Amino acid sequence: MQLDAKIPGGPLQEKWDRHRFELKLVNPANKRKFDIIMVGTGLGGGAAAASLAELGYNVKVFCIQDSPRRAHSIAAQGGINAAKNYPNDGDSIWRLFFDTIKGGDFRAREANVYRLAQVSNLIIDHCVAQGVPFAREYGGLLDNRSFGGAQLQRTFYARGQTGQQLLLGAYQSLMRQVAKGQVTVYPRREMMELVLVDGKARGIIVRNHVTGEIESHAGHAVVLATGGYGNTYYMSTNGKGCNVSACWQAYKKGAGFANPCFTQIHPTCIPVHGDFQSKLTLMSESLRNDGRVWVPKDPKEKRRPQEIPESERDYYLERMYPSFGNLAPRDISSRAAKRVCDEGRGVGSTKLAVYLDFADAIKRLGKNVIEERYGNLFQMYDKIVDEDPYQVPMMIYPAVHYTMGGLWVDYNLMSTIPGCFVLGEANFSDHGANRLGASALMQGLADGYFVIPYTIGGYLVGTKFDAVNTSQQQFKDAEGVAKDRIKKLMRIKGKKTAEAFHRELGHIMWEYVGMGRTDERLKKAKELIPALRAEYWENVKVLGSADGFNPSLVQAIRVADFLEFAELLVVDALNRRESCGGHFNEAFQTEEGEALRDDQNMAHAAVWEYAGEGKEPILNKEPLVFENVKLAVRSYK
Ligand SMILES: Cc1cc2nc3c(=O)[nH]c(=O)nc-3n(C[C@H](O)[C@H](O)[C@H](O)COP(=O)(O)OP(=O)(O)OC[C@H]3O[C@@H](n4cnc5c(N)ncnc54)[C@H](O)[C@@H]3O)c2cc1C
């Protein structure tokens, strides 16, 4: 596998400008000769599809939901970062770049991260022009708040619905292109296969969720923007439909999968409350702007939180990380919560929770200000937990939330398969081993609005294309593979639902590949996952028929992919002989229990190559070269 990141030469600040200049342009009259397949309509795919169509390309858009505007990005709550420096508190492109590289524990590519910081400001201007209703200050300027891992305010937000408002902006741009005939939307389609012709990505096979038909679609390039794989853990803050399938199928066709073990566990989620729960709810990180995190000092404490005096509380984040306090980054805050709970000081009936307390903020600012800032989040908490967070501290606990790993891409966002581009959470590019809050929306929109519109042109104009159509053998073969897979699943007629297998996989992942990893536990997971997978293919029960609407079949296809992918995640975790960001192997920690990197041997992206069924994947490495920041121990003290 060739890993040429294609990082442009020259000083960091000039790389993107220079690259855009050096990329060949597609003549406007020629753009309409190119067909682009966009899989995914979240902020990455939606923004890209609208922008590419605006440029004049023909775009076919696919998503699993009934409408592009229901992509999972709609769930994003807290905000989007940009280096505008409106609060005049010391921000700059350089600082956003540095915070992101440091936040990712020095495991991301400098050039990509710098470009992300550069285009962050354009995103805000673009979205404001679309009419996205960002919160404003009294004077009319857009308001900013803080997120983890930053000591200033650079997060733009629309109450606790930032993702929804941004997605509506992208959706309206997309619909404009649909009306112009430049975009065709194919909702309720599940990508089953990537089709390669002469080694290039030239099409996809999808299953129509409503009719059950297997359809082929051809184009000059395929863009995957299919989101993250957090649901490998079964329970996560992700929507139930989030899956790894499209990326996994691309991996099996030759796309390198980078750093799959870099999963983010978010510190502020509503704790698990029972065995029959299938999903977890995020309480946005923005709440840590005003909420204070604490546990009782005494493990035997039985009183209600309001009755515990200040002197008997441990505001552990403020104590351990005085400079960043409650806004320490997610990986660090999650591990700190686990640590106090492991000490027996957790709260609630399961003792696996900590308090997030707004009493001080309400006293200082008044209930109305807190309500203005976080009203919908407080309401959500109240509805789920049946407790009023204005009166009683919230109870929160870490949960799987985001995945920094993903398909490997070069500076142009192209995977190791020519013509297969990957955007948003589905790629590995910008967040290293830990993503800072409010940076996923920034990355998805940067990729979609401001990077792919340039880089895909360079590929299209510089590549010789033979004509392809869906009656070619490559498409027929891929259709056959998809149909056989469905038949095989339908024939099993076992006794256990795909849901039950997924839940079991989730238990294995959380128990053995969770917040505190050890070689012993990882090896155990590596034994258990193939055994569960073998049982799956003998005993899964898929209801209904393959010919029409069948959620049981849709789920069975996705769980089959999770069961394969999970093993790769474990292999990657075993291979990374250090702790960094979201990957914490207990054998590699400082005396104070912080992650201990090995920059000498592990400063690379681990890129896995599919070697065939039943064979160990092949490891390739992209060395990470740091010319502009000094690798240092990440400290938030
Ligand atoms: C609860 C929650 C809150 C969050 N809050 C924030 C926040 O405040 N700020 C921030 O920066 N980030 C936040 N994030 C993270 C952020 O929302 C996501 O990382 C981001 O929205 C992902 O966008 P995306 O375009 O990559 O993918 P998605 O929005 O997940 O879209 C994926 C698209 O791919 C399609 N798709 C998926 N699989 C297939 C398939 N097999 N076949 C065909 N189509 C497929 C789907 O239909 C969908 O259209 C939050 C995440 C969660 C879970």
Per-residue pLDDT reduced to its tens digit, 72-105: 999 998 899 999 999 999 999 999 999 999 999 9
Q: Which of 60, 144, 226 to mutate to test the pocket of ligand 1 (most atoms within 8 A of CB)?
A: 226
Question: Whose alpha carbon is nearest atom 33 of ligand 1?
Answer: 40
The residue assigned the tokens 């002989």 is: 577
Q: What is the pLDDT of residues 5-18, one digit of tens each?
A: 999 999 999 999 99
The atom number, within ligand 1, closest to the CA of 438 reads 11
For ligand 1, atom 4, name the residue with the nearest CA: 76
> Residue range 522-540: average pLDDT?
98
Average pLDDT over residues 459-480: 97
- Whether pLDDT at 469 is above 90: yes
User: Closest by alpha carbon to 392, among 400, 402, 381?
Assistant: 381
Average pLDDT across the chain, whole number? 96
Q: What is the pLDDT of residues 599-627, one digit of tens each?
A: 999 999 999 999 999 999 999 999 999 99
Q: Does 377 sit in the ligand 1 pocket, CB within 6 Å?
A: no
- Under the banding of pLDDT at 50, 70 and 90, the label for residue 593 is confident
Q: Is 62 in the pocket of ligand 1 (CB under 6 A)?
A: yes
Instruction: Over range 493-522, report the average pLDDT.
Output: 97
* Model confidence at 276: pLDDT above 90: no
**Nearest one of 241, 219, 238, 221 to 230, comparing CA atoms:** 238
List the residue whose alpha carbon is closest to atom 36 of ligand 1. Answer: 226
Whether 258 is in the pocket of ligand 1, judged by its Cβ within 6 Å, is: no
- The pLDDT value recorded for residue 93 is 98
What tokens does 41 get?
A: 């309509």
DSSP per residue over 561-611, as a string? HHHHHHHHHHHHHHH--S-BTTB-BTTSB-TTS-B---HHHH-EEEEEE--
Q: Give the closest residue (by CA) to ligand 1 atom 20.
A: 73
Start-to-end CA span in the chain (Å): 41
Q: Is the CB of 444 under 6 A from ligand 1?
A: yes
Counting from 1 in the atom list of ligand 1, the atom nearest the Cα of 281 is 1
For the segment 309-322, the average pLDDT, to the nearest whole number, is 97
Q: What is the pLDDT of residue 256?
A: 98
75 Cβ below 6 A of ligand 1:
yes
Q: For residue 440, how far is its CA from the centre of ligand 1 (angstroms)? A: 9
Q: Which two tokens stand for residue 552?
A: 């049981």
Radius of gyration of the chain (CA): 24
Residue 594 neighbours by CB distance under 10 Å = 20
Please give the number of the atom of ligand 1 that sits closest to the Cα of 282: 1
3-state SS class at 625: coil
pLDDT at 362: 97
72 lines ligand 1 (CB under 6 A): yes
Residues 320-347 pLDDT 10s: 999 999 999 999 999 999 999 999 999 9
22 C-alpha to ligand 1 centroid (Å): 32
Would you say residue 246 has pLDDT above 90?
Answer: yes
Q: Give the whole-number percent of the chain exceeding pLDDT 90.
A: 94
* C-beta of 225 in contact with ligand 1 (< 6 A): yes
What pLDDT does 148 receive? 86
Nearest to 245 by CA among 562, 498, 613: 562
Give pTM, 2 decimals. Answer: 0.97
Question: How far apart, in whole angstroms, are the C-alpha atoms of residue 405 and residue 148?
Answer: 20
pLDDT score, position 159: 86
Taking residues 309-323, report their average pLDDT.
96
∠ CA(131), CA(135), CA(141), 5° rounding?
85
pLDDT tens string 541-559:
999 999 999 999 999 999 9
Distance 402 CA to ligand 1 centre (A): 9
- 408-419 pLDDT, tens digit per residue, is 999 999 999 999
Give the span between the Cα atoms of 396 and 358, in whole angstroms: 13
Q: Which of 263, 259, 258 is nearest to 1 (CA)?
A: 258
Atom of ligand 1 nearest to the CA of 439: 11
CA distance 350 to 44: 38
* 155 Cβ closer than 6 Å to some ligand 1 atom: no
pLDDT at residue 637 in the model: 85
**pLDDT, tens digit, 9 for 90 and up, residues 174-224:** 999 999 999 999 999 999 999 999 999 999 999 999 999 999 999 999 999
pLDDT at 207: 98
* Mean pLDDT value of segment 513-529: 97
pLDDT score of 453 more than 90: yes
Cβ of 158 below 6 Å from ligand 1: no
pLDDT tier, 275 (very low <50, low <70, confident <90, very high otherwise) = confident
The 3-state DSSP class for residue 503 equals: helix
Q: What is the pLDDT of residue 635?
A: 79
Residue 296 CA to ligand 1 center (angstroms) comes to: 36
Average of per-residue pLDDT across 377-390: 95
Question: Residue 194 in contact with residue 417, Cβ under 8 Å?
Answer: yes
166 lines ligand 1 (CB under 6 A): no
CB of 148 closer than 6 angstroms to any ligand 1 atom: no
Q: Which two tokens stand for residue 182?
A: 């430049």
Please say if the pLDDT value at position 273 is more than 90.
Answer: no
Q: Residue 49 — pLDDT band, cuts 50, 70, 90?
A: very high
Of these residues, 154, 159, 330, 335, which one is catalytic? Answer: 330
Band of pLDDT at residue 447, cut at 50, 70 and 90: very high
Ligand 1 mean position, distance from CA 114 (Å): 23
Four-residue CA torsion sign, 589, 591, 594, 600: negative
pLDDT at 484 over 90: yes
Has residue 633 got a pLDDT over 90?
no
Active site residue 503: no
- Mutate which of 59, 62, 64, 264 for ligand 1 pocket (most atoms within 8 A of beta carbon): 64
The token pair at 220 is 């000059």
What pLDDT does 437 receive?
Answer: 94
Q: Angle at Cα 630 formed by Cα 628 and Cα 631, nearest 5°?
A: 125
- Cβ–ligand 1 distance for 172 under 6 Å, the answer no
Measured at the CA of 11, the angle between CA 9 and CA 13, to 5 degrees, comes to 115
Residue whose CA lies nearest to ligand 1 atom number 8: 78
pLDDT at 634: 83
Grade residue 592 by pLDDT with cuts at 50, 70 and 90: confident
Segment holding 205, helix H or strand E: strand 200-208
